[in-house]
Amino acid sequence: MTTPLPNIMDLTLKELQQSMSLLGEPSFRATQIHQWLFSHHATSFDNMTILALALRTKLSETFTIFRPEVVERYESFDEACDHRTEKILLKLSDNNLVESVLIPSEERMTACVSSQVGCPFQCSFCATGKMGLRRNLSAGEITEQVYALNNMVSAKEPGRTITNIVFMGMGEPLLNTDNIIEAIETLGTRNYRFSLSQRKVTISTVGVIPEIQRIAKSGLKTKLAVSLHSADQQKRESLMPIAAKQYPLKDLGKSLAEYTASTGIPVTIVYMLLKGINDSLDDAKTLARFSRSFLCKINLIDYNSIINMNLRPVTSAARELFQQYLVNAGLHVTVRKSYGTTINAACGQLATPSLHAAQR
């Protein structure tokens, strides 16, 4: 049985430079090839006409080019705000599947992308965690999600492009930091055909403290969002057992204070309100105390129903009381509306069809 050739799209620029060295080529060839792959979107090595024929032959004998394939596409329409959310299912080179979401609005066109196939943290409110972790995505696979969503945008509205990227899809981005940073560089700082400011990128995390510290020191200008969901250690452990135990609130709060002090960039605290669990006045008081120690804003979000999970969203009256307490405490608070719930595209709902089928 013939061993398949490695997918060149999975190599970082540094790895591509190492590969060129092994092929007896100068390192600058790696930059040229990388640009052909991610700026010109070459589909074969023959397209890379700037390269000598001998090198193109060596590349075709050593690597293959495989881009994630869109195998399903779903659409949800919110009549209240003329909002149409779209979700795509992508097949990877090893036949694993990931989901990505396009969230349009009048001012923005946001790509919500995945960083892992599955997730190891198994948070009680999240469908992705039920999959377990299968593997990290390569930087190329992360980047290609944005390109696939951008192609959808330009096909519908020529001249319009993705304006924001949020790493809030499947997986924990800060367990795949190297590839997240590599993807951000390809999508922005390398000035390829698609180039987005780092300030338009948000990285979401359950609170992986060592990687938060690393991001703070990296010089990235991206935004950081932390999925908190309770500022009480015991409650947070019941909702997020693995993350909360590995990264306790006391240590997390200190890490976020250091992050905001060194970067000057506010952290977004994401708080999913769950009826009868974390929605009381005492919960609001605890959240206010936790959030006062660093520069932040708080996003309150509703729970999005997931099959076989015995959780419920709060009423609008309870949400308003919770929000008002935080506002009165001097905190910046917004309520973030969820889109795409009917196609399982909202926060916590992403999971590949094999899991959805098993839950039916």
Q: What angle do CA 197, 166, 150 make, to 5 degrees?
A: 70
DSSP H helices in 206-280: 209-218, 233-239, 241-246, 249-263
Inter-helix orientation angle 28-38/13-22, to 10° = 130
pLDDT, residue 126, reads 85
For residue 110 the two structure tokens come to 């946001």
Q: Which residue has the tokens 């999970």?
A: 309
pLDDT-derived band at 79, boundaries 50, 70, 90 = low
pLDDT-derived band at 336, boundaries 50, 70, 90 = confident
Strand-pair category, 83-91 with 133-136? unpaired
pLDDT, residue 250, reads 97
> What share of the chain in percent tops pLDDT 90?
79
Q: Does 347 qualify as catalytic in the annotation?
A: yes
Q: Does 126 qualify as catalytic in the annotation?
A: no
Q: What is the mean pLDDT of the chain?
A: 90
Is the pLDDT assigned to residue 146 strictly greater than 90? yes
Task: Report the amino acid identity of residue 359.
Answer: Q
**Which tens digits make up the pLDDT trace of 153-164?**
999 889 899 999
Contact 208, 242 (CB under 8 A): no
Average pLDDT over residues 223-234: 97
Is the pLDDT assigned to residue 221 strictly greater than 80? yes
Task: Report the amino acid identity of residue 275.
Answer: K
Average pLDDT over residues 215-231: 96
Nearest-angstrom CA–CA distance, 96 and 112: 18
**Which position has the higher pLDDT, 342 or 216?**
216
Residues 6+ apart with CB under 8 A from 85: 75, 76, 77, 78, 101, 102, 103, 104, 339, 340, 343, 345
Residues 6+ apart with CB under 8 A from 34: 13, 16, 186
Nearest-angstrom CA–CA distance, 51 and 229: 52
Is the pLDDT assigned to residue 80 strictly greater than 60? no
pLDDT, residue 358, reads 37
Strand-pair category, 133-136 with 116-118? antiparallel
Task: Report the amino acid identity of residue 12.
Answer: T
pLDDT, residue 83, reads 67
Average pLDDT over residues 168-177: 96
Q: Which of 25, 99, 172, 182 is catalytic?
A: 99
Least confident of 121-135, 181-195, 270-284, 339-353: 339-353
**Terminal-to-terminal C-alpha distance of the chain:** 38
The domains found in the chain, sorted by start residue, are: 8-62 (1.10.150.530), 69-359 (3.20.20.70)
Nearest-angstrom CA–CA distance, 93 and 264: 40
Backbone φ and ψ of 193, nearest 5°? -60, -35
Is the pLDDT assigned to residue 343 strictly greater than 60? no
Average pLDDT over residues 186-214: 94
pLDDT-derived band at 342, boundaries 50, 70, 90 = very low
Q: Within 10 Å of residue 222's Cβ, how many Cβ atoms?
A: 22
pLDDT-derived band at 193, boundaries 50, 70, 90 = confident
User: Any bridge partners for residue 249, and if so which?
Assistant: none
pLDDT-derived band at 124, boundaries 50, 70, 90 = confident
pLDDT, residue 76, reads 78
pLDDT, residue 14, reads 97
pLDDT, residue 107, reads 86
**Which tens digits make up the pLDDT trace of 26-38?**
999 999 999 999 9
User: Residue 199: how many CA atoms within 13 Å on its side-chain side?
Assistant: 4
